[in-house]
Amino acid sequence: MTTDSVKRAESTPDEPMPFAELGMKQDEYDRVKEILGRRPTGSELAIYSVMWSEHCSYKSSKVHLKQFATKAPKSDALLVGMGENAGVVDIGDGWAATFKIESHNHPSYVEPHQGAATGVGGIVRDIMSMGARPIAVMDALRFGGAHQDDTRRVLPGVVEGISHYGNCLGLPNIGGEVAFDPCYIGNPLVNALCVGLLRKDQIKLATAPGPGNKVVLFGASTGPDGIGGASVLASATFEDESQAKRPAVQVGDPFMEKLLIECCLELYAADVVVGIQDLGAAGVSCATTELAAKGTGGMHVDLNQVPLRDPSLRPEEILMSESQERMMAVVRPSDIPAFMAICAKWDVPATVIGEVTDTGRLVMTWHGETIVDIPPGTAADDGPVYERPFHEPAGQAALNADTPDALERPADLRATLLQLLGSPNLASKAWVTDQYDRYVRSNTVLAQPADAGMLRISEAIAGAEPTTRGIALSTDGNGRYAKLDPYAGAQLALAEAYRNVAVTGAKPLAVTNCLNFGSPEDPEVMWQFAEAVRGLADACRTLGVPVTGGNVSFYNQTGSTAIHPTPVVGVLGVIDDVAKRVPTGFVAEGLRVALLGDTAAEFGGSEWAHVAHGHLGGLPPEADLEAERSLATVLVEAARRGLLEGSHDLSDGGLAIALAEACLARGIGATVALSGEPFTDLFSESAARALVAVRPEAFDEFAALCAEHEVPCYGLGVTGGESLVVQDVLEVPVSELRDTHTGALPAIFG
Amino acid sequence: MSAARVGVVTFPGTLDDQDAARAVRLVGAEAVPLWHADHDLKGVDAVFLPGGFSYGDYLRCGAISRFAPLMEELIPAARAGLPVLGTCNGFQILCEAHLLPGALTRNASLHYVCRDQRVRVESTDTAWTNAFEQGQEITLPVKHGEGRYVASAETLAEIEANGQVVFRYVGGNPNGAMNDIAGIRNEAGNIVGLMPHPEHAVEELVGAPSTDGLGFFTSILKKLVNA
Amino acid sequence: MARVIVDVMLKPEILDPQGQAIARALPRLGFSGVSAVRQGKRFEIELEGPADDAAIADVRKMAETLLANTVIEDYTVRVEA
Amino acid sequence: MARVIVDVMLKPEILDPQGQAIARALPRLGFSGVSAVRQGKRFEIELEGPADDAAIADVRKMAETLLANTVIEDYTVRVEA
Ligand SMILES: Nc1ncnc2c1ncn2[C@@H]1O[C@H](COP(=O)(O)OP(=O)(O)O)[C@@H](O)[C@H]1O
Ligand SMILES: [Mg+2]
């Protein structure tokens, strides 16, 4: 078999290369030739095509994402910002947290179980590569209509995949979202978040310094996973013999990943790792080019050393394989024996595949011939950058003009409450979350159905420095709001996550985000994207929380129909004394119930308009970020002083749903009275609001705190009894609320 | 007198070992880490086989772990009377090793289930349950995909007749287990296995909304101190 | 180099919820005429040498001690034709 | 009344972590001479009628749509002797 070596490329300058089949444009291919001063070899083309893909290079989004840095609020908490595998935040007492959310949308549509499972696996390796112990996961999910046929195929598979992989890793699942909308049929969203913990001085980076240091590939062996495009290269061009069509589906092995986690942590503790990188999309190509580009600039790799699951793999395929559960480390030669011994203890195969050099070139050999010889930075950092055209969608003005004002208001508010509470988006997600282990590691302070997940820090790592602190996390996003106004929609996503963290008593500190959109080549989608990024960056500045990292997922569309623009935002907060966390809902009888924040008649994109009328139009609720900030200040301070017995944020479905969920938390009813127009008071989705439960004797102090921060505080009533009573409006036994809330998803999914 | 020493076993893929060790320490005993690949019980007074997915739960839960070098030491020691508690995956391993009768199979719902479960203590005559009251109802989390206890009709009749059923699910059976069995013991009562997780119900702040799991650890302490 | 197949099935008296779930789903998917479904495991064991009597005896032991849990499962061993 | 067997195995190029875990465990248990193990599923389908061509075609469709995930698995259908 002939190998397309550099020598061969030099002597066959005009040989046509299948760059188009690999998704590369003519001008991009011309740039590669210009960089190399010759045509690329097949292996070099493999590297450039994947490194310059949208997924790896962010070529369409880069110019916009810059705002997260240029508009970033000053924050002392940020230890590692965007651009690394994950951001790292200072959480005090010498501790740091690293967290990131990432999409695995398309693979989860093709093979729901494995697609979702490997999504979890990938994000966990990102967190490991920062030097951290992963301590929890979350999952933000969007599916087509709950009653649509394909949803019954996709949802159970996705949930099982997340459940199986996360549970096997021993990572508690502490939160997430499940939402349904027909716009996601054919394009489900599977966004997985992982959070990790490390000491501030133990951060690891993806870098390969020190000529002479060894490059070690460890973990699973390399097979033909997810290399769809590469088979074009391996077969069509150079050889006549036809290769079997390679599978696009990656299969995860959570057991191997669990071993990798423990193995990596022991390697870090033994201080035998100079640089480390996980292998995700673009596998060996990505890890070698990025490590080399950030180190002393050179690396020599012998591809024959890569352990293969399938010995027939060609070098191009090895370079592009997305086999899971692999990591690459840079190790001092003197540390190799210790490194290998730790890998052996954990049954993790490890192989030296190369060496760091100071040549400034990434050189790879195959059976002694040089098949890659490139400046690594040109693949890793100097990818193409597009200023894609964008403009407001043709129908946007009409969409915004079609307000919900004309929709008929319900006569029976009790029936409306039950209708919403039993609708798929608002119903209990226990069918999903009961499949997730939320207890493992015994540090889970709050998990579903709490507004935010919360973990104690002190015991998270055996023998660790004691601290009373905890961290809280929430992810949120509302595609309908973003469809109506992507600028405001992104801000509302941040506001909700920020609020969900604050109601537990934690102070919001930092942001991660996953931006799920249609095709960037559609100027109308690109406008949605640009607006969402602008909105999120502005909101982060106002709220004083920097973006630490994230992920962009484009091409979520079927034909020319894109999903609703769906920015999903994750917020991480810190609580100084985790014992002071505020549980979600009404936890005792006889507590005063108060509503914080003002309510206006805001029904654009609301759950009521969606469920009762199938309507989407008008404008989303106003994103009043100053009000969000004051609200959070009050909630965090009140928790610190021990004034709150329970709380719950208001979001989809408004006050009515918040009251019902608060009653369901412990099966304790409440009697409340409204002061305004009942329908608006109960179902409007105005932002910057929360429900609190306060001991009567603490109420005056709490009200004074609200007044001090100009947060409106309305006493609504008191907890207790067997029913939720809204005086003169409705009364529903808690048991009926429960049946409606918990029965909905099992009735659909079995 | 030196503290009671409770060994906590780690297999590749064990998940709840830190939790188990923490619970052991909470009652004032010493938690001694035991490693699957060692032929060494380190002279412990009792052994906790924690939950997880040892060997990925591939093949059958507990099937591969049962052959670990450590198990070659543990199996005869347990037969000779060493107190052993297996929770979840630990229970599965004890059944695979034939230290306890029966087997654990795929949940009838075919789904993994994580929830707070009420169970009734049916036997206080064991090394691990002597601090409970007969018939006491406690709340412990369950979290498993293969927890449906099954046994042949004869075995089932035998363990019922011998009083070897230690825990029964009440208020709903999470996995379809025969006779609502959540946990069993050997005849001697030194070996107990159960699907629920006492180690996740020992602190107010974290885990399940109960501290009923503490009883397991105070039981073994009482047993060892009195021994 | 030979291949030996080990089939492992739950004993008939042990409930097989996976098989039952499939049997229940069939009519909904438009399949009739199936009275029962049982789901088990199939192992393909690649031997380095030939499938002679000694090798088969070895695989049988493997099935008995590892691949099947004989408390609840039956197994069969056969050389692939 | 006939019995049809459907064997479902992961496609050869798809990672089989279960099979690998078993293969890795064998030497430790004293079994040598096994080069690879793959684990799949076996379904026993009891038909109400005879296993004629129509019934087999039906089972084949069942395998294709329900029993196997053809994105990652292959299947074979045969009538039990
Ligand atoms: N896919 C999921 N994974 C984990 N937890 C989830 C998931 N979906 C919902 N939850 C949890 O269920 C609870 C209710 O969710 P939801 O009603 O969406 O909350 P909110 O509206 O406050 O964001 C929350 O605790 C949330 O974290
Ligand atoms: Mg909430």
Longest dimension (CA), chain D: 48
How many A from CA of A176 to the centre of ligand 1?
A: 5
Neighbour-count burial of A11, counting CB atoms closer than 10 A to its CB (0-12 exposed, 13-18 middle, 19+ buried):
exposed
Q: Find the helix packing angle between A42-51 and A26-36, rounded to 10°.
A: 120
Are D21 and A255 a contacting pair at CB < 8 A? yes
Residues A346 and A263 sit within 8 Å (Cβ to Cβ): yes
Catalytic residues of B: 88, 197, 199
Q: What is the mean pLDDT of residues A353-382?
A: 94
Q: Find the helix packing angle between A654-666 and A734-749, rounded to 10°.
A: 100
For residue A689, what are the CA distances in angstroms to A488, A510, A738?
17, 21, 24
Longest dimension (CA), chain C: 48
Residues of A in contact with B21 (CB under 8 A): 462
Structure tokens at A697: 């004797």
Instruction: Please give the Cα distance from B83 to B77 (Å, whole number).
Output: 9
Residue-level pLDDT at A483: 98
For residue B93, the surrounding DSSP H or E stretch is helix B89-96
Residue-level pLDDT at A750: 87
Instruction: Please give the Cα distance from D2 to D52 (Å, whole number).
Output: 9
Residue-level pLDDT at A3: 87
Phi, psi of B85 (to 5 degrees): -120, 130
Chain C residues bordering chain B (beta-carbon distance below 8 Å) = 10, 13-15, 17-18, 21, 66-67, 69, 71-72
Are D15 and A309 a contacting pair at CB < 8 A? yes
Say which amino acid occupies A112: P
Are B110 and C72 a contacting pair at CB < 8 A? no
Instruction: Please give the Cα distance from A549 to A80 (Å, whole number).
Output: 9
Residues of A in contact with D71 (CB under 8 A): 110-111, 249
Pairing of strands D34-47, C73-79: unpaired
Encode pLDDT of A297-352 as tens digits.
799 999 999 999 888 899 999 999 999 999 999 999 999 999 999 999 999 999 99
Pocket mutation for ligand 1, best pick of A137, A138, A448, A568 (most atoms within 8 Å of C-beta): A448
- Collapsed DSSP state (helix, strand, coil) of residue B86: strand
pLDDT at A1 over 80: no
Are A251 and D71 a contacting pair at CB < 8 A? no
Residue-level pLDDT at B226: 77
Look-up of token digits 């209708």: A419
Q: Ligand nearest A423 Cα, by number?
A: 1
Q: A403-411 long-range CB contacts below 8 Å, 24 or more apart?
A: A403/A604, A403/A617, A403/A618, A403/A619, A404/A603, A404/A604, A404/A606, A404/A609, A404/A613, A404/A615, A404/A617, A404/A618, A405/A603, A405/A618, A407/A603, A407/A609, A407/A612, A407/A613, A407/A615, A408/A613, A409/A679, A410/A612, A410/A679
How many A from CA of A473 to the centre of ligand 2?
A: 11
Which ipTM was obtained for this model? 0.91
Q: What is the mean pLDDT of residues B126-153?
A: 97
Residue-level pLDDT at A296: 75
User: What confidence category does residue B227 fall into, taking pLDDT thresholds of 50, 70 and 90?
Assistant: low
Share of chain A above pLDDT 90, in %: 86
**Mean pLDDT computed over every residue of chain A:** 93
Residues C62 and D26 sit within 8 Å (Cβ to Cβ): yes
Residue-level pLDDT at D24: 87
Query: What distance lies between CA A422 and its chain's CA centroid?
Result: 27
Q: What is the mean pLDDT of residues C1-14?
A: 93
Instruction: Please give the Cα distance from A180 to A41 (Å, whole number).
Output: 46
Encode pLDDT of D17-69 as tens digits.
999 989 988 988 888 899 999 999 999 999 999 999 999 999 999 999 999 99
User: A719 - beta bridge partners?
Assistant: A670
Residues A715 and A594 sit within 8 Å (Cβ to Cβ): yes
CA distance C56 to chain B (A): 20
**Mean pLDDT computed over every residue of chain C:** 93
pLDDT at A237 over 70: no
How many A from CA of A724 to the centre of ligand 1?
A: 22
**Residues 6 or more apart whose Cβ sits within 8 Å of residue B134:** B121, B122, B123, B124
Q: Ligand nearest A453 Cα, by number?
A: 1
Query: What's the pTM?
Result: 0.94
**A149-153, A193-197, C26-30: lowest mean pLDDT where?**
C26-30
Encode pLDDT of A288-297 as tens digits.
999 998 877 7
Residue-level pLDDT at A691: 98
Residues of D in contact with B58 (CB under 8 A): 17-18, 21-22, 39
Residue-level pLDDT at A208: 78
- Which residues of B, range 128-147, sit inside 8 Å of D by Cβ? none
pLDDT at A21 over 90: no
pLDDT at A247 over 60: no
For residue A128, the surrounding DSSP H or E stretch is helix A112-128
When computed from its CA atoms, the radius of gyration of chain C, rounded to whole angstroms, is 16
Residue-level pLDDT at A584: 97
Catalytic residues of A: 55, 104
Share of chain A above pLDDT 70, in %: 97
Structure tokens at A185: 């049929």
Q: What is the mean pLDDT of residues A171-180?
A: 98
Are C44 and D46 a contacting pair at CB < 8 A? no
User: What confidence category does residue A225 fall into, taking pLDDT thresholds of 50, 70 and 90?
Assistant: confident
User: What confidence category does residue B13 fall into, taking pLDDT thresholds of 50, 70 and 90?
Assistant: very high
Please report the number of interchain residue pairs, chain B to chain C, with beta-carbon separation below 8 angstroms: 39
Atom number, ligand 1, closest to the C-alpha of residue A159: 1
Structure tokens at A91: 């959480």
DSSP string, D19-71: HHHHHHHHHHTT--SEEEEEEEEEEEEEESS---HHHHHHHHHHIIIII--TT
Residues B15 and B45 sit within 8 Å (Cβ to Cβ): no
Which of D18, D26, D41 to mutate: most B Cβ within 10 Å? D18
Q: What is the mean pLDDT of residues A204-210?
A: 81
User: What confidence category does residue B121 fall into, taking pLDDT thresholds of 50, 70 and 90?
Assistant: very high
Share of chain B above pLDDT 70, in %: 99
Residues A693 and A592 sit within 8 Å (Cβ to Cβ): yes
pLDDT at A727 over 90: yes
User: What confidence category does residue C53 fall into, taking pLDDT thresholds of 50, 70 and 90?
Assistant: very high
Measured between CB atoms, does A444 come within 8 Å of chain B?
yes
Encode pLDDT of D36-46 as tens digits.
999 999 999 99
Residue-level pLDDT at A86: 85
Count how many domains chain B has: 1
User: What confidence category does residue B1 fall into, taking pLDDT thresholds of 50, 70 and 90?
Assistant: very low
* Domain extents in chain D: 2-79
- Collapsed DSSP state (helix, strand, coil) of residue A571: strand
User: What confidence category does residue A233 fall into, taking pLDDT thresholds of 50, 70 and 90?
Assistant: low
Residue-level pLDDT at A83: 75
Are C13 and B102 a contacting pair at CB < 8 A? no
> What CATH number matches the domain at A607-749, 3.90.550.10, 2.40.50.100, 3.90.650.10, 2.40.160.50?
3.90.650.10
Q: Find the helix packing angle between A254-269 and A112-128, rounded to 10°.
A: 0
Residues of A in contact with B206 (CB under 8 A): 442-445, 456
Instruction: Please give the Cα distance from A312 to B172 (Å, whole number).
Output: 53
How many A from CA of A650 to the centre of ligand 2?
A: 7
Neighbour-count burial of B32, counting CB atoms closer than 10 A to its CB (0-12 exposed, 13-18 middle, 19+ buried):
buried
Residue-level pLDDT at B2: 62
> What CATH number matches the domain at C2-79, 3.30.1280.10, 3.40.50.150, 3.40.50.620, 3.40.50.720?
3.30.1280.10
Residue-level pLDDT at C20: 92
Q: What is the CATH number of the domain that holds B129?
A: 3.40.50.880
Residues A52 and A96 sit within 8 Å (Cβ to Cβ): no
First to last CA, chain D: 13
Instruction: Please give the Cα distance from A692 to A639 (Å, whole number).
Output: 11
Residue-level pLDDT at A244: 45
Residue-level pLDDT at D12: 87
**Does the domain spanning A6-58+204-380 belong to CATH 3.90.650.10?**
yes
Are B55 and D28 a contacting pair at CB < 8 A? no
Measured between CB atoms, does A113 come within 8 Å of chain B?
no
User: What confidence category does residue A77 fall into, taking pLDDT thresholds of 50, 70 and 90?
Assistant: confident
Q: A405-413 long-range CB contacts below 8 Å, 24 or more apart?
A: A405/A603, A405/A618, A407/A603, A407/A609, A407/A612, A407/A613, A407/A615, A408/A613, A409/A679, A410/A612, A410/A679, A413/A656, A413/A678, A413/A679, A413/A682, A413/A726, A413/A729, A413/A730
How many A from CA of A497 to the centre of ligand 2?
A: 8
Look-up of token digits 């079994």: D31
Residues of B in contact with C10 (CB under 8 A): 105
Encode pLDDT of A442-457 as tens digits.
999 999 999 999 999 9
Closest-CA residue in chain D for C48? D33
Total residues found in chain B within this entry: 227
Instruction: Please give the Cα distance from A554 to A459 (Å, whole number).
Output: 39
First to last CA, chain A: 54
Residues A361 and A354 sit within 8 Å (Cβ to Cβ): no
Residues A356 and A295 sit within 8 Å (Cβ to Cβ): yes
Decide whether A6-58+204-380 matches A607-749 in CATH topology.
Answer: yes
Question: In the 8-state DSSP scheme, what is residue A282?
Answer: B
**A72-86, A102-116, C37-51: lowest mean pLDDT where?**
A72-86
